Amino acid sequence: GAVVSQHPSWVICKSGTSVKIECRSLDFQATTMFWYRQFPKQSLMLMATSNEGSKATYEQGVEKDKFLINHASLTLSTLTVTSAHPEDSSFYICSARATGENIQYFGAGTRLSVL
Amino acid sequence: SQQGEEDPQALSIQEGENATMNCSYKTSINNLQWYRQNSGRGLVHLILIRSNEREKHSGRLRVTLDTSKKSSSLLITASRAADTASYFCATVRGSNYKLTFGKGTLLTVNP
């Protein structure tokens, strides 16, 4: 099956620093990539949708200046959490959709802990 | 926003038993999908059922969809300890491919 690689899997940072998370589709071209946030024992909340070469579409309530998304190629999307604060600590998961497919392939997630 | 509601929130069964999880949603859909998540990991797609389909099978999985009741069920037959995970339903509306996830069911299969 299609593989999506997400790095890093775990990151600890100091408050005020920025953290970049990468999401790569390894064996297919991802027309669309999605970024989710998941709190402990809760469901996934869609943060934004990114299409290659265009600006990301953010869900209501998600600060686009706080969570910068870049989808520079058909195989790579990045999420940068800028000026991270403890309340940004969470599990972030990306997914990718190939052209013509209805399902999403998920990365393994990144656990962010902001001290 | 969360559209789906799964029940039960948690289910504990013995190996070999069947596990049934239900999902309800609020709006019209294009399709409904079930995903599995092992603790602290990403999600794995299990099965997709379109709005014009009523039942679908994949190995030990059986999914039903009742659009009049806006509900779906996932049945896992002859469960195994390795089936222990959280199971989420997710709906797709329109053609934007966005998934709206339910709250999930935590399934524990005891050996």
Q: What is the pLDDT of residue B5?
A: 72
What is chain B's Cα-based Rg? 13
CB contact under 8 A, B98 and A108: no
Residues in chain A with CB shorter than 8 Å from the CB of B104 are 43
Does the distance separating the beta carbons of A104 and B42 come in below 8 Å?
A: no
* B34-B45-A77 Cα angle (round to 5): 125
Q: Name the percent of chain A lying above pLDDT 70.
A: 99
Q: Are A104 and A95 in contact (CB under 8 A)?
A: yes
Angle, CA of A55, A72 and A101, to the nearest 5°? 80
A44 interfaces chain B, CB cutoff of 8 Å: yes
What Cα–Cα distance (Å) separates residue B86 from each residue in A14, B38, B40? Answer: 31, 6, 10
Q: Can you list the alpha helix ranges (DSSP code H) found in A7-112?
A: none
Q: What is the pLDDT of residues A12-32, one digit of tens each?
A: 999 999 999 999 999 999 989
Cβ atoms of residues A80 and A68 within 8 Å: yes
Chain A residues lying within 8 Å of B44, measured CB to CB: 106
- Tell if the CB–CB gap between A93 and B42 is shorter than 8 Å: yes
pLDDT band at A57 (very low <50, low <70, confident <90, very high): very high
Q: How confident is the model at residue A58 (pLDDT cuts 50, 70, 90)?
A: very high
Angle ∠(A39,A85,A50) on CA atoms, nearest 5 = 65
Checking if the pLDDT of A34 tops 50, the result is: yes
Asked whether the beta carbons of B20 and B34 are under 8 A apart, the reply is no
pLDDT digits (tens, 9 = 90+) for B59-82: 999 999 999 999 999 999 999 999
Q: Do A34 and B99 touch (CB under 8 A)?
A: yes
Confidence tier at B40 by pLDDT (50, 70, 90): confident
- What is the number of CB-based contacts under 8 A between chain A and chain B? 55
Q: Is A84 helix (H, G, I), strand (E, B) or coil?
A: coil
Higher pLDDT, A1 or B62: B62
Do B107 and B83 contact (CB within 8 A), yes or no? yes
Say yes or no for a CB contact (<8 Å) between A109 and B42: yes
| pLDDT above 50 for B1 | no
pLDDT of B108 reads: 97
Residue B82 DSSP code = G
pLDDT above 70 (res B3): no
Q: Supply the DSSP string of B33-70, one letter for each residue.
A: EEEEE-TTS-EEEEEEEETT--EEEETTEEEEEETTTT
Our CA dihedral for B59, B65, B70, B75, rounded to 10 degrees, sits at -30
- CB contact (8 A) between residue A43 and residue B99: no
Predicted local distance difference test score (pLDDT) of residue B19: 97
- Using an 8 Å Cβ cutoff, are A25 and A88 in contact? no
The shortest CB-CB distance from A43 to any of B45, B92, B103 is to B103
For residues A71-95, give the mean pLDDT. 95
Which pLDDT band holds residue B4 (cuts at 50, 70, 90)? low
**What is the least distance, in Å, from the CA of B57 to any CA of chain A?**
17
Give the pLDDT band of residue A53 (cuts 50, 70, 90).
Answer: confident
Residues of B in contact with A107 (CB under 8 A): 42
Residue-wise pLDDT for B5-38, tens only, equals: 778 899 999 999 999 999 999 999 999 999 999 9
